[in-house]
Amino acid sequence: MPSPPQQRGIIVSKLYSEVDIYAEAERLYGVIQQRERWTIDMCKTIAPLTLEINDLKKKNDVFIIAHSYQTPDIIYGVADEVSDSYSLSKAARDASQQTILFSSVRFMAETAKIVSPHKTVLHPSPDAGCSLSDGINGQDVRNLKERYPNIPVACYINTTAEVKAECDVCVTSSNYLTICEKLPGEKLIFVPDKFMGKHLQKSLEGKKEVIVYDGECEVHAVFTGEKIRSWRERMNQQGIELTVLSHPECDIDVLEESDIVGSSEALIKNALQLSANGKKDIMLITECGTAERIIAESENDLNLIGACVMCRHMKKTQLEDILQALKNPMPEQIIEIDKNIIDKARMSLEEMFRLAE
């Protein structure tokens, strides 16, 4: 009879004294910087978890990587590295630790394994997918290559290892325009994000033909240019000049209405710079984690306007899952990829590092 599945999210720890817990709660309260939602009492409830995770991390020499869309308790409580998909894939490649725990969606943890196959990569939430990476498989790319032979294939990093293995080069939100421009020939296939594909078609117009797949990010697809225009008008009527920052997974009408377009990390850096320069009225057209990092990291006055959208996949991971995966990982929390796929997928990532630098 198969053994019952182990449960996630029910670890109770009695390892720490009241004094340790209070000191950790104060640290968390100070770094998270959201005094109404993350009160000192709330921080006290998570302090035993962050203490134990940080102790285990040191003891077992584990490097914890978190994407910016993870929740603040993970980002400021336990992560060693927080950034966008490009920087995190480099951090995974360059980490000296033998074990990486990747707090994010599955394709990012898979990417860490591809760039450092000799390391153990733990992924606490095996069912945390992504509408882009789940919307295409290796056969879809093979079909495109058959239909359009001898054309370079660029794939967004938001894809499975199997899809990366079929591509010539990988790209991220911070380098897709420059890398695709550098590819040889007058045509290219771009998968799977149709919106990024549309930006590529526009920016490479007259230089290259871009054949685009039909995927989309369910979070960024929600935003519209019309909403930005109406917010701008309303703000203008009050004498407020809005600066709009968008992620390139949004549709082209959104990007055309935006002042700055960039990866999650680029948006955070730009917003912090804007607020430091006194331009405090900022509209963020992206996932909510970006705003949470800006709130935590800004030392200046900020007025974040409009609503963000939450990625249900990114928010699946909790501190309990990280602790459980560190203590006793289930087989599905340890990334395993066929060697043949790793070897091919690594070539597309190495090509990205080469062309991006």
Contact positions toward ligand 13P, by CB under 6 A?
A: 84-86, 158, 172-173, 217, 249, 263-264, 287
Binds 264: which of ligand SF4, ligand 13P, none (CB < 5-8 Å by kind): ligand 13P
Give the C-alpha separation, 137 to 176, whole Å: 20
Least Å from the CB of residue 328 to ligand SF4: 27
Tokens matching residue 224:
């519209």
266 sits near ligand SF4 (criterion: CB under 6 A):
no
Beta strands in the chain (DSSP E): 62-67, 81-83, 99-103, 120-122, 153-156, 169-171, 187-191, 209-212, 243-246, 260-261, 281-285, 303-305
355 binds ligand SF4 (CB under 6 A): no
Which residue in 121, 308, 311, 323 binds ligand SF4 (CB under 6 A)?
311
Nearer to ligand 13P, 232 or 315 (CB): 315
- Given ligand 13P, ligand SF4, none, residue 270, with its beta carbon under 5 to 8 Å by kind, binds none
State the nearest-atom distance from the C-beta of 132 to ligand SF4, in Å.
5
91-110 binders of ligand SF4 (CB under 6 A): 105
CA–CA dist 352, 44 (Å, integer): 43
User: Contact region for ligand SF4 (CB under 6 A) — 116-124, 214-222, 274-282, 329-337?
Assistant: 214-222
315 binds ligand SF4 (CB under 6 A): no
Binding mask 173-192 for ligand SF4 (x = CB under 6 A): --------------------
Tell me 309's DSSP state: B
Smaller CB distance to ligand 13P: residue 234 or 312? 312
Fill in the per-residue mask, 11 to 50: x = in contact with ligand SF4 (CB under 6 A), - = not in contact: ----------------------------------------
Near ligand SF4 by CB under 6 A: residue from 130, 155, 322, 355: 130
Phi, psi of 180 (to 5 degrees): -65, -35
Nearest-approach distance from CB 88 to ligand 13P, in angstroms:
7
Region near ligand SF4 per CB under 6 A, out of 53-61, 75-83, 126-134, 338-346: 126-134
Q: How many CB atoms lie within 10 A of CB 78?
A: 25
- In DSSP terms, 303 is beta-bridged to 281
Q: Does 313 interact with ligand SF4 (rule: CB under 6 A)? A: yes
Interface residue with ligand SF4, options 249, 265, 320, 351 (CB under 6 A): 249
Distance of alpha carbon 163 from alpha carbon 344, whole angstroms: 10
Whole-angstrom Cα distance, residue 95 to residue 105? 19
Q: Which one of ligand 13P, ligand SF4, none interacts with residue 85, CB within 5 to 8 A by kind?
A: ligand 13P
Pick one of ligand SF4, ligand 13P, none as the site partner of residue 263 (Cβ within 5 to 8 A by kind): ligand 13P
- Comparing CA positions, the residue from 131, 130, 110 lying closest to residue 121 is 110
Residue 84 binds: one of ligand SF4, ligand 13P, none (C-beta under 5 to 8 A by kind): ligand 13P
Separation CA 235–CA 229 (nearest Å):
10
| 56/296 with CB nearer ligand 13P | 296
Is the CB of residue 44 less than 8 Å from the CB of residue 21? yes
- Laid out side by side, the sheet with 281-285 consists of 260-261, 243-246, 281-285, 303-305
Nearest of 193, 119, 120, 129 to residue 160 by alpha carbon: 129
What are φ and ψ of residue 258, in 5° steps? -95, 155
For the chain, first and last CA: distance in Å?
53
Piece in contact with ligand SF4 (CB under 6 A), picked from 130-138, 143-151, 165-173, 329-337: 130-138
What is the rounded CA–CA span in Å between residue 327 and residue 24?
Answer: 21
Where does this chain bind ligand SF4 (CB under 6 A)?
A: 105, 130-132, 158, 217-219, 249, 287, 311, 313-314
